[in-house]
Amino acid sequence: MSDRLLIFDTTLRDGEQAPGIALSPTEKVAIARQLARLQVDIIEAGFAASSPGDFEAVSRIAREVKGPTIASLARTHPDDIDKAAEAIKEAESRRIHVFISTSAIHMESMLRMTESEVMTAVVESVKRAKSYCDDIEFSPQDATRTNPDFVVATCQAAVKAGATTINIPDTVGYAMPADFVELMTRVYNEVRAGNEDVVISTHCHNDLGMAVANSLSAIHAGARQIEGAINGIGERAGNTSTEEIIMAIKTREDYFGVEIGADTTQIVETSRLVSRLTGYPLQYNKAVVGRNAFAHESGIHQHGVLRDRLTYEIMDPEMIGHHSSIILGKHSGRAAFADALSKMDINLEDDDFTRAFDRFKELADRKGKITEEGIRAIVAAETGVATDEAKLVGIHLSGGDHELPTAVVKLDHGDGEIAEYEASGDGMVNAAFVAVQDAFGILATLVDYRVSPLTSGADAMAEVNVIIQIESETYSGRGVSTDVVEGSARAFVAALNKAVGAATIFTTEE
């Protein structure tokens, strides 16, 4: 048995299925590039047949991101497989991941298919996928609630049809470590027999908080691929956390005895990027990447760590990419800003650099000092913006108390012409939202709105993340400011710019 464990990251597919996440293709490419720096083995870039946006994102990642194998998910439908194959065709190394449900409840209530119909679909779809590429993964969805004999039978049929990885999903997070090991051992012994090159994989959900434990327990049963998502994002309670798996294997090499290829120093950066772009904040006590993961509060602990870090720390913070904090001030110039970015491993194109630097100067003038977190937030908000997109130039607020809150926003529509839009609303943020909608001439619904402080103190800088809905599509946007209403207006403008951009892509494609 090989002692190399493959890390399969599905942040961009299963992770992105979490409620309220709406990543644009450009944001997905940015995350995929960072996953490549983290050196995961496989990136599941999306579900190409699910929407034109997903197809575009998978195709761009396949074309632009080098290093890991790029996978697309597909149902057993011929059209799904053809679209997956088309989307990944330019990847250096590619995989099609075919799945179908095998539990009685899913087959009866969702698929309305019999066992024998499911079996036929497995064989035909894997064969079709194999006609496009060699590397095929098969997953019997809801495996842990499926009759184990049927799990084994479908997996054996998939391997016979050409599958090279067999993935066992605990789709609803139902399994306990001991029964998961039992199922994995059966699959290992009965599916891999005579097919020693086939890799057995796990894909666990976290409904009962067992995802990481179940995935790791499968290593002793022969699993050599674990699927996860950064920060554990995903459907309902989420997926196995990729970063927790990586650090468990690295920290307890003595126990697991397997090797992985990940560059652990990229973990913090990857986690922050995913949190920022998805708008999903990290819980403070999140394992490995939470803000308290290396904080010591009690006097006894602090005393111990000062004497010897190993008294209360099992991981070296530098190993996962924490480094001493960078702080810039209003006197910092382009060179200092560029130096800080390079220490943070951030490389920007000229236009993006100029936008981020100008915004940094504006905020540093108001705020004095900007921390590393603030710089990252500015970069995230100001980069990847096309030069012809609308920009917020100013905002003026009036009213409140007994008068109707009113916002006047000044917008440069991307052509240098500045126009003013005035609106009133139920509170300042609402007034700003209505004025920005008027500026774009688009009616949107605000479905999610979050403010995260980037620094402490009354003059704290805040990052605002919004998700808006226009008809059935959702778009995210973020803004950074020392003023929450201005930050909100910036976030609304960013989200509406995305909506306009998406409309342009899809109208020109059709």
Q: Are 185 and 147 in contact (CB under 8 A)?
A: no
Instruction: Closer to ligand KIV by CB, 14 or 373: give it.
Output: 14
By CB under 6 A, the count of residues binding ligand KIV is 9
Partner residues linked to 483 by β-bridges: none
Shortest separation between residue 261's beta carbon and Zn ion, angstroms: 23
- For the bound state, the minimum distance from the C-beta of residue 105 to ligand KIV, rounded and expressed in Å, comes to 13
Q: 14 or 244, CB closer to Zn ion?
A: 14
What angle (nearest 5°) sits at the alpha carbon of residue 180, between those of residues 84 and 106?
50
Alpha-carbon distance of 434 to 404, in angstroms, equals 14
| Least Å from the CB of residue 170 to Zn ion | 9
Question: Does the protein bind ligand KIV through residue 156 (CB under 6 A)?
Answer: no
CA distances from 457 to 35, 76, 135, 460 (A): 34, 54, 53, 5
Kind and range of the H or E run holding 104: helix 104-106
Residue listed under structure tokens 């497995």: 122
Q: Which is nearer to Zn ion, 58 or 444 (CB)?
A: 58
User: What DSSP string describes 382-439?
Assistant: HTT--TTS-EEEEEEEEEETTEEEEEEEEEE-SSS-EEEEEEE-SSHHHHHHHHHHHH
Taking the complex as a whole, the smallest distance from the CB of residue 234 to ligand KIV amounts, in Å, to 8
Q: How many Å apart are CA 392 and CA 381, to the nearest integer?
A: 13
> CA angle at residue 471 from 468 to 477, to 5 degrees?
20
Contact partner, 141, from Zn ion, ligand KIV, none, Cβ < 5-8 Å per class: ligand KIV
**Which CB sits closer to ligand KIV, 143 or 499?**
143
99: contact with ligand KIV by CB under 6 A: yes
Residues at the contact surface with Zn ion, assessed by CB under 5 A: 14
Identity of the residue, 14 or 80, whose beta carbon is nearer to Zn ion in the bound complex: 14
Q: Which does 139 bind (CB under 5 to 8 A by kind): Zn ion, ligand KIV, none?
A: ligand KIV
In sequence order, which residues have a C-beta less than 8 Å from that of residue 129 and are 6 or more positions away?
A: 74, 81, 84, 85, 96, 98, 136, 162
Give the nearest distance from C-beta 124 to Zn ion in angstroms: 23
* The length of the chain, given as a count of residues: 510
Closest chain position to Zn ion (CB): 14
Among residues 34, 72, 102, 141, the one that binds ligand KIV under rule CB under 6 A: 141
- Cβ pair 15, 47 in contact under 8 A: no
CA pair distance 169, 306, nearest whole angstrom? 43
99 contacts which partner out of Zn ion, ligand KIV, none, CB within 5 to 8 A by kind? Answer: ligand KIV
CB of 52 to ligand KIV, least distance (A): 20
Please tell me the distance from the alpha carbon of residue 260 to that of residue 270, in angstroms, as a whole number: 17
Buried b (16+ CB within 10 A) or exposed e, 46-73: bbbbbeebbbbbbbbbbbebebbbbbbb
Helices (H), 39-95: 52-64, 78-88
CA angle 229, 231, 235 (to 5 degrees): 60
Parallel/antiparallel/unpaired status of strands 369-371 and 391-400: unpaired
Nearer to ligand KIV (CB atom), residue 71 or residue 407: 71
Q: Is 14 in the site for ligand KIV (CB under 6 A)?
A: yes
Closer of 139 and 270 to ligand KIV (Cβ)? 139
Cβ of residue 168: shortest distance to ligand KIV, in angstroms?
Answer: 9
Task: Give yes or no for residue 139 binding ligand KIV (CB under 6 A).
Answer: yes
Residue 406 interaction partner, one of Zn ion, ligand KIV, none, beta carbon < 5-8 Å per kind: none
Q: Which does 54 bind (CB under 5 to 8 A by kind): ligand KIV, Zn ion, none?
A: none
| Residue with smaller CB distance to ligand KIV, 170 or 244 | 170
Beta carbon of residue 133, minimum distance to ligand KIV (angstroms, whole number)? 18
Looking at residue 324, what DSSP letter applies? P
Restricting to residues 39-98, name those near ligand KIV by CB under 6 A: 73
Report if residue 486 touches ligand KIV, rule: CB under 6 A: no
Q: Nearer to Zn ion by C-beta: 211 or 258?
A: 211
Q: Say whether residue 372 binds ligand KIV (CB under 6 A).
A: no
Closer of 75 and 367 to ligand KIV (Cβ): 75
The minimum distance between CB 460 and ligand KIV, in angstroms, equals 38
For ligand KIV, which residue of 76, 144, 171, 474 counts as binding (CB under 6 A)? 171
Do 479 and 464 meet the contact criterion of CB atoms below 8 Å apart? yes
- Identity (one letter) of the amino acid at 281? P
Smallest separation (angstroms) from ligand KIV to the CB of 171: 4
N-terminal to C-terminal alpha carbon distance within the chain: 49
Cβ-contact 490, 381 below 8 angstroms: yes
- How far apart are alpha carbons 229 and 213 in whole angstroms? 15
Contact partner at residue 276 from ligand KIV, Zn ion, none, CB < 5 to 8 Å by partner kind? none
The whole-angstrom distance between residue 429's C-alpha and the CA centroid of its chain comes to 28
Quick one: 101 or 271, whose CB is closer to ligand KIV?
101
Q: Taking the mean position of all CA atoms in its chain, how far away is CA 80?
A: 23
465 binds, among Zn ion, ligand KIV, none (CB under 5 to 8 A by kind): none
Is 203 a binding residue for ligand KIV by CB under 6 A? The answer is yes
Q: Least separation, in Å, of the C-beta of 109 and Zn ion? A: 18
Shortest separation between residue 227's beta carbon and Zn ion, angstroms: 8
If binding is defined by CB under 6 A, does position 224 make contact with ligand KIV? no
Residues forming the site for ligand KIV (CB under 6 A): 14, 73, 99, 139, 141, 169, 171, 203, 205
